[in-house]
Chains A and B, each alone.
Chain A
Amino acid sequence: MIYDKNYYLDTFNVTEEMLLRLSAEGLNRGGDYSDLYFENTTYNTLFLRDSEVSSGGFMTDYGVGIRVLKGEKTGYAYAESTDYSAMLSAARAAASISQGPGLSRSGELSDSQIAKLIRDAKDRAATYTPIEANGGRPMRRFFQGLPNPAADRYPMKYEWRKAEIASFIPYLKSLEAAVRARDERVVKVVATLSACQSDILMYNSFGEMKYDTRPMGTISVSVVFSKDGKIENASASRSFMKGSEMLTDAIVEELAEKVTKGIDERFEARRPKGGKMPVVMAAGASGILLHEAMGHAFEADFNRKGQSIFSDKMGKRVCPEGINIVDDGTMKGNRGAVNYDDEGVPGQYTYMVEDGVLTSYLHDRISAKYYGVTPTGNGRRESFRYAPLPRMRNTYMESGDACAEDLIASVKKGIYVDQFSNGQVKIGEGDFTFFVKSGRLIENGRLTMPVKDINIIGNGPEALADIAGVADDLTIDDSAWTCGKGQSVPVCCGIPTVLINNLTVGGE
């Protein structure tokens, strides 16, 4: 959602002249580029426990982060106040990444000094902006100008900030009722609504100003079931960059169905015999495979430092022909959507793998400069307290032409997995894991015994090369995925049903 420019300037109590001055202060010790990231976030939560909404709260977070780049080096500081003196202090702390004497170390810069700093830095920083060096690919963009309302990827019909938070209490109760109506073994239900709205204003030493209001609504439910003295749990969530119009009856039914579905199997499920075997990954949440197996290793900061297992694979085949993997910041209302990333670069639809060949890393301005390519709009951060890093948005594989049932039928002895909780990767070694909440054995092409609570481990390049079939059923999973890399950002993932020939499955 995008308001008028003055809304943001007023929210942060700043003028364009102040932004220019602060930007110049950041450059004063010899920096190449500086940017400012203002954030005003409000966050409401409601918790339903023991059938009552008896707790919740409200949080505000406000401040500005100031970054200075010198080559690939970063100076960063922030202020929790937008008083000019506090921001000036932060700008000077960030400026210290450069060790130059500065035109003025303590007093205010004059207008002519500001003009000189900005002019000189523009030349030095030219490569932080796009250049035509991306293999002729049509990704050249200039990031000048004001936000384009046509690219508003998260309009809100009903703003969270203007909503009566009490009006959502019946919604949480209806969710609990829908869960209990589906299964009499339910012992406890915890339902949570979190509603976040952030005003963002960005300004950089090129004089570019971008602004945005970002909503994030998340509804989640955790349920404990009891049967014959045994206890099991399950959880489900839905998260969108939308206003409160996202709280529909359909979402209630969808969550209640998801959290109760398969609970019989969970009570029956056992651990399989562990070892290497073919794994069929169901459409949707199995996108965690892409996130862990290659997404992180394609983040360009790991590659420019030579740490990633993929750092020498650009332009090389990493998957069988016909496979396309994207990181998409353009899907309207999606948890990973961005109008602009947190460096003011437009959100994009970025192919990482095309027809099986690695064609792009995920870039922020620093890595794009290093590689001489256009930033891909992946410079993201948790809040104004953090400098941006290359991060995923909504990562998925495009549909193939196989049939999911055929992929299962082709496996003599293996495993089918469909629900997950978390994953991890070792960037250099490429070893990734993800934790499977539910699945089934595949025996002679048929789904048989339910399995649960097993970890699966594999190696990124080997797993990608081992993809034996991709179905035509791409599904985006709209759960509340959050990616951690020293700082947390909301992401999304998806995948069609995929068969991988050889992964190691935990078991007894």
Chain B
Amino acid sequence: MVDGMIKESDILLGKEGMQTALDAGASAVRITINRSCMDLVGTLNGEIDKVNHSLDSSMSIQLFVDGRYAAFSTNRLENAALKAFILKSVEMVRIMAKDEFRKLADPERTEKGALTGKELDLYDENYDSMTPEKRVELALDAVAYGRCSATECKIISEEGEYNDCVFDTIVMDSNGLFCRHTETSFEYGVEITVQDEAGAKYSGTWWDATPRLKDLSISTCGKKAFEIAKAQIGPKPRRSGQYKMVVDSECSSRLLTPVLNALSGHSIQQKNSFLLDSVGKKIFSEGMTVMDVCRTAGETGSRLFDTEGVATTEHSIIENGVINEYFINTYISGKLGVKPNIEDATRPKVMPWPKPGMDRDALMKLCRNGILVTGFNGGNTNSTTGDYSFGIEGFAFKDGKITHPVREMLITGNLITLWNSIIGVGDDARLCKSKLTPSLAFEGVDFSG
């Protein structure tokens, strides 16, 4: 048995814990067992700088007692300690106010085909053969320090981190639910800081992650981070004004996340959303279509079930600007009196528009002139109005080609307005991310500088 995998004894412990809670008066119980193992090797300037070994296990317990509800978690999984914890937890639930809408997910809606955890093909059998020596070798092989150079700058530091992990989750409930998800992950990330002749410093980061080691693009990360850092040398101020904006796929999820948050049933029920009363309405541009592509085998972020055990489905969340759904779990379904679906977007993908196959360079050509955003620096969104303001880093471009880096700039506006200003949606989302957001192009964006 690999460290980090759930054992039969854990499952038995979960079942016993469920029975302990039922015997103590719980009417329903959901238990989530998690185990994971991660090993990390860090490098600094071409030498090993740190090694970490992490082994985690925990049990989360949702209890429904006398029409009341509360949630608990512990990492003390010895029999006696867990039993005492559960008995104490059942008593704590009884102090809560009654809430008729707290229920387990309807068994009709739960996933029935996630029994081994490996149905989505996200487990790399080669993980079992990873050794400390192999991890060190991978981390050192990836080093760019001493291998990248340029006349206009020198590398001040390179920090790289290789890690691999396995995580294993089982969700079970007193209605007979049993779902398992097992996944391996191999990741390498690197940050390179360079200094130009004037003494100014610039940093660049790049990373890759994949469920399978053979698919990890580890050797190119350092070079890419170096190029990103180097490209920022010599920034020039850019006058405040409205520009066309292309957002690189590396950072474009920043503009999608607050939209998805606003579709959360919790936000809707609490009136804390700028997308209240929007289902079935065309709120965004024709060019905005977001699919949930969550059951694709072998792809990072795919899941067969949510935390309630409800089966995921592949479907459109937003289609040609029309909002098709809020994310409604069992509880919010009762509170709002609407049909439940899934608690969140699992693996959302912004679909290409107006044609497939474009990347950020194609979008810059489409826009001709504007500002390319390659990263965000702080900022936030007002969840009730959709008003946003973000610090950005990036480049001015002219006739579709980058001219110079810009610095200390901000974009400010409203997300509904922004997503109604789409010029184009690329087809270059990074598969290592759980949100598949490609490069995006917008017009009329307010930049301050």
Contact = CB atoms under 8 A, between A and B. Distances in A.
A455 B391 contact: yes
Interface stretch (A152-160, A197-205, A475-483, A499-507): A499-507
B68 interface: yes
B96 A271 contact: no
A100 B204 CA distance: 35
A455 B389 contact: yes
A58 B72 contact: yes
Interface stretch (A70-78, A326-334, A372-380, A490-498): A70-78
24 contacts: A60-B85, A62-B76, A74-B51, A75-B51, A169-B95, A224-B272, A232-B385, A233-B384, A273-B240, A306-B157, A309-B201, A387-B50, A387-B52, A425-B377, A429-B203, A429-B407, A435-B389, A455-B378, A455-B412, A504-B410, A504-B449, A506-B412, A507-B412, A508-B412
Interface string B29-72: 00000000000000010011111111111000000000011111
Given A60-B74, A424-B391, A452-B382, A431 B407 contact: yes
Interface stretch (A49-57, A254-262, A439-447): A49-57
B97 A424 contact: no
Given A55-B96, A306-B156, A271 B387 contact: yes
B8 to A, nearest CB: 19
A426 interface: yes
A6 interface: no
Given A274-B446, A454-B389, A57 B53 contact: no
Given A56-B96, A232-B384, A275 B240 contact: yes
A59 interface: yes
B384 A224 contact: yes
A80 B408 contact: no
B379 interface: yes
A423 B391 CA distance: 10
Contacts of B48: 73, 97
Given A431-B407, A453-B380, A508-B412, A188 B272 contact: yes
A157 B95 CA distance: 24
Interface stretch (A88-96, A174-182, A348-356, A396-404): A88-96
A210 interface: no
A453 B52 contact: no
Interface string B68-106: 111111111010000001001100100111110010000
A113 interface: no
A224 B270 contact: yes
Interface in B348-385: 377-385
Contacts of B157: 305-307
Interface in A147-202: 165-166, 169, 187-188, 190
A429 B393 CA distance: 11
B271 interface: yes
A387 B383 CA distance: 35
Contacts of A90: 53
Interface string A411-449: 000000000011111111101111100000000000000
B409 interface: yes
Nearest to A79: B55
B233 to A, nearest CB: 11
B390 interface: yes
B51 A506 contact: no
B54 A77 contact: yes
A458 interface: yes
A231 to B, nearest CB: 4
B9 to A, nearest CB: 14
A61 interface: yes
A15 interface: no
- Chain B interface extent, by class: 35 or more
B391 A433 contact: yes
A459 B408 CA distance: 8
Contacts of B49: 72-74
Nearest 5 CB-CB pairings of A with B: A274-B448, A433-B378, A424-B378, A428-B201, A506-B410
A40 to B, nearest CB: 9
B3 to A, nearest CB: 10
A52 B99 contact: yes
A80 B377 contact: no
Given A57-B92, A432-B377, A453-B387, 18 more contacts: A54-B98, A57-B71, A60-B85, A61-B75, A75-B51, A80-B75, A93-B51, A96-B132, A305-B193, A307-B201, A426-B393, A429-B203, A431-B391, A433-B391, A455-B380, A455-B391, A457-B409, A504-B448
B375 to A, nearest CB: 9
A458 B391 CA distance: 10
Contacts of A96: 51, 132
Interface of B: 44, 47-57, 68-76, 78, 85, 88-89, 92, 95-99, 102, 132, 156-157, 159, 193, 199-203, 232, 240, 270-272, 274, 276, 335, 377-385, 387-391, 393, 407-413, 446-449
A226 interface: yes
Contact of A165 (B56, B92, B203, B385): B92
A188 B267 CA distance: 11
A81 B379 CA distance: 40
A336 interface: no
A305 B389 contact: no
A21 interface: no
Contact of B410 (A55, A72, A274, A312): A274
A60 B76 contact: yes
A275 B448 CA distance: 5
B301 to A, nearest CB: 22
A74 B48 CA distance: 9
Nearest to B96: A54
**Most chain B CB inside 10 Å of its own CB: which residue of A75, A90, A276, A426:** A426
Interface in A460-492: none
B52 A508 contact: no
A224 B271 contact: yes
A432 B232 CA distance: 16
A57 B70 contact: yes
Given A78-B54, A454-B412, A59 B240 contact: no
Contact of A457 (B96, B199, B408): B408
Contacts of A504: 408-410, 448-449
A169 B97 CA distance: 10
A77 B69 CA distance: 36
Contacts of A61: 74-75
A169 to B, nearest CB: 7
B75 A77 contact: no
A188 B98 CA distance: 19
A344 interface: no
A385 interface: yes
A306 B199 CA distance: 12
Given A429-B202, A455-B390, A424 B377 contact: yes
A385 B200 CA distance: 35
A63 interface: yes
